[in-house]
Amino acid sequence: MQFKEHIYWLPAHWASYLINCDDSSFSLYDDGDEQLETIDQIIEDIGHGRPVEVSDESSFMKYHDAHDYGVLAVDCLLYTFLELIEEPDEPHPSLSAQERNPNLR
């Protein structure tokens, strides 16, 4: 199995939801439900499920990967998503070397 990393700058306060699926902190915000909808849309658009890793250090950013979704300047973390790369089918091990690779003489 091989994976390709995709790294995105996303708001730091989304970490609990993105990593642990814990949306309890969003009840503190007037627009918490809207934020959750935005996060879910971003996850769907990324298309690789939830992130598998998040950075420790944040940076305040005006332009980040959620900017096009209407998210204003905010402290952001780097979130790593993994994409499974399909490997070509391996030949069956019971085949001879010549059968597995017809170019052999």
49-105 tens-digit pLDDT = 999 999 999 999 999 999 999 999 999 999 999 998 877 666 666 666 666 666 665
- Residue 100 is predicted with a pLDDT of 60
- Residue 81 is predicted with a pLDDT of 96
pLDDT digit string, tens, across residues 19-29: 999 999 998 88
- Residue 28 is predicted with a pLDDT of 85
> Read out DSSP for the chain?
-EEEEEEEEEEGGGHHHHHH---GGGGGSTTHHHHHHHHHHHHHHH-S-S-SEE-S--EEESS-TTGGGT--SEEEEEEEEEEEEPPPPPPPTTS-HHHH-TT--
pLDDT for residue 39 is more than 70: yes
- Residue 40 is predicted with a pLDDT of 96
User: Residue with structure tokens 């989304």?
Assistant: 14
Q: Is 18 exposed, middle or buried (0-12, 13-18, 19+ CB in 10 A)?
A: buried
Q: What is the pTM of this model?
A: 0.77
